[in-house]
Chains A and B, each alone.
Chain A
């Protein structure tokens, strides 16, 4: 042999009759499996010890090929309880058969506890052996899973206890168990206060940690935003326009953070318009007062509305002068209205100068493409108002 590594024993269900244990050993040793099988049957006939040994080998030795279809079905069936019951019946049948053959270790004191334990064992094993994708499914039903495992464990322990009781093994145990229980209760009473204090202490510590985390978060935010802006304000103190714009942007951001009214990530019409207004304000240094009534989720059409409103705000910023621009949004289920109003010089809508035509078209055209409409109201000396509607 070139390799020193020993060849591991693998079951070979494809070439075996039951679990492929004999075939696997035969392959490992390099003889005909028939010889091993003859030896196995002889061992069964001589006292039956080979049967539990075979079962243990079946469970413990991994298989190198898929299980035979019958066992495969048994392992992957969904109805765990049925499988467990079946396993119990199988065990009972096998043991009864062995009893009629008068195999040495089978008698009534032994049989029924073993049946119960086998059923419970089947439950537990089914639970732990389920295919990965099933486990993922089961993860959604943790309570059921736990219930089955608990029932299985109870059956196994119950079976073991019945066996011990039936074999009079519990009589001395009783003398041991009672003092142990009494001592356990005493210890529990002594330790309970410490335990409770420990749990409470953990809860307190957790609350304190959350508080300090929150404080750290607030500090981090103020550092990033407010202190930064204050530093900028000091640097640009000679430029009142810039300082006013900085202060306003910071105010808007801080308000949004304090109110925290909308969950981040979920963009709505109102938040999108507020963001657009903040952006335009940052670019053009003209204050924009945003008032929103109602809200709705942002879809294609309202996104087009936001784009048109942004266009209108930019336009207003160029002509409005220093007076604030008003952006008013009223959104209901079936209708959204947006008004952008500036207090600039205004103009006669009938005599639109050609250079403003493009902007108007981009607003009006965009709204009409998305099934809405836009109207521009303006009177010389009274400012301009752009009205955007989708219904």
Chain B
């Protein structure tokens, strides 16, 4: 079973997630502070870390940064009540492979954890909307790596379906491709989101007061 560590400063919420994930994935530990989280993750080496974005002492971003030094391959799924674009984009660019809000059901969360553990990316409808907004069709980019700076038509189509509330397998059926191909598209978008220096993206971030 997939092993998970929960990092959140609210004990009530940690307990709730533990109960919801019980039997679906294996929760092997939890932590309430940045310091504990880093120690716990490095020690237990879970498949996936469920990471709260807002925590005292630097928040999820700080945990990501410190763990990455010791365990670069660690996979994170950000889990937060915030759906402000700056929080979402910042945590994804810092290395999280997905972002879901805390209102997600236990079953969907377990599904997302398994997908992250397999190396895929998990985009909630809202995150898909943010990415589409950030990569909105505009002036052709002039940066060096053209491939990174734009979404392909197919990637855009997949994201639009996620934003419209379709599950991966429904998207696959609608677009006549396999679920694996849908996941490959989403992973490609995640890579672009993390590595892109796209002018549009930075302008978009500035508009939303995002300091990168």
Q: Is A365 an interface residue (CB 8 A)?
A: no
A312 to B197, CA, bound (A): 39
Residues of chain A within 8 A (CB-CB) of B83 are: 255
Interface segment, one of B3-11, B43-51, B126-134, B186-194: B126-134
Q: Is A319 an interface residue (CB 8 A)?
A: no
Q: Is B119 an interface residue (CB 8 A)?
A: no
Asked if residues B164 and A328 are in contact (CB atoms below 8 Å), the reply is yes
Q: Is B199 an interface residue (CB 8 A)?
A: no
In-complex Cβ contact of A339 among B126, B132, B164, B208 (8 A) = B164
Q: Is B72 an interface residue (CB 8 A)?
A: no
In-complex Cβ contact of B125 among A326, A332, A343, A385 (8 A) = A326
In-complex Cβ contact of A341 among B137, B164, B208 (8 A) = B164
Q: Is A2 an interface residue (CB 8 A)?
A: no
Smallest CB-CB separation from B131: which chain A residue?
Answer: A293
Asked if residues B164 and A385 are in contact (CB atoms below 8 Å), the reply is yes
A59 to B125, CA, bound (A): 78
Smallest CB-CB separation from A337: which chain B residue?
Answer: B160
In-complex Cβ contact of B163 among A293, A325, A343 (8 A) = A293
Asked if residues A291 and B136 are in contact (CB atoms below 8 Å), the reply is no
Q: Is A289 an interface residue (CB 8 A)?
A: yes
* Closest chain B CB from A278 CB (angstroms): 15
Asked if residues B160 and A328 are in contact (CB atoms below 8 Å), the reply is yes
Asked if residues B133 and A328 are in contact (CB atoms below 8 Å), the reply is no
- Known contacts A289-B126, A293-B136, A294-B133; is-contact A328 B165 (Cβ 8 Å): yes
Asked if residues B164 and A294 are in contact (CB atoms below 8 Å), the reply is no
Query: Which interface residue of A289, A291, A382, A385 has the most chain B CB atoms within 10 A?
Result: A291
- Known contacts A259-B84, A385-B164; is-contact A293 B125 (Cβ 8 Å): no
* Closest chain A CB from B128 CB (angstroms): 7
A115 to B78, CA, bound (A): 82
Asked if residues A291 and B170 are in contact (CB atoms below 8 Å), the reply is no
Q: Is the interface of A mostly helix, strand, loop or mixed?
A: strand
Q: Is A16 an interface residue (CB 8 A)?
A: no
A residues 301-346 touching B (CB-CB < 8 Å): 324-326, 328, 330, 332, 339, 341, 343
A23 to B147, CA, bound (A): 93
Residues of chain A within 8 A (CB-CB) of B166 are: 341
* Closest chain A CB from B173 CB (angstroms): 9
Asked if residues B164 and A293 are in contact (CB atoms below 8 Å), the reply is no
* Closest chain A CB from B131 CB (angstroms): 9
Residues of chain A within 8 A (CB-CB) of B160 are: 328, 330
A residues 203-241 touching B (CB-CB < 8 Å): none
Q: Is A14 an interface residue (CB 8 A)?
A: no
Asked if residues B170 and A382 are in contact (CB atoms below 8 Å), the reply is yes
- Known contacts A324-B165, A339-B164; is-contact A289 B125 (Cβ 8 Å): yes
Q: Is A292 an interface residue (CB 8 A)?
A: yes
Asked if residues B136 and A294 are in contact (CB atoms below 8 Å), the reply is yes
Residues of chain B within 8 A (CB-CB) of A324 are: 165
A residues 63-120 touching B (CB-CB < 8 Å): none
A residues 237-287 touching B (CB-CB < 8 Å): 255, 258-259, 261
A323 to B125, CA, bound (A): 15
Asked if residues B84 and A291 are in contact (CB atoms below 8 Å), the reply is no
Residues of chain B within 8 A (CB-CB) of A343 are: 165
A328 to B125, CA, bound (A): 9
* Closest chain A CB from B119 CB (angstroms): 26
* Closest chain A CB from B194 CB (angstroms): 20
A222 to B137, CA, bound (A): 39
Query: Which interface residue of B126, B133, B164, B208 has the most chain A CB atoms within 10 A?
Result: B164
Residues of chain B within 8 A (CB-CB) of A332 are: 136-137
Could you list 9 examples of A-B contacts with CB < 8 Å? A255-B83, A258-B84, A259-B84, A292-B129, A293-B136, A293-B163, A294-B136, A326-B164, A382-B170
Contacts A289-B125, A291-B128, A339-B164 aside, 9 further interface pairs with beta carbons under 8 A come to A259-B84, A261-B208, A291-B125, A293-B133, A293-B136, A328-B160, A332-B136, A332-B137, A382-B170
**Chain A to chain B: the 9 pairs with minimum beta-carbon distance, closest first:** A326-B165, A291-B129, A328-B164, A293-B132, A291-B163, A339-B164, A293-B133, A328-B163, A291-B125
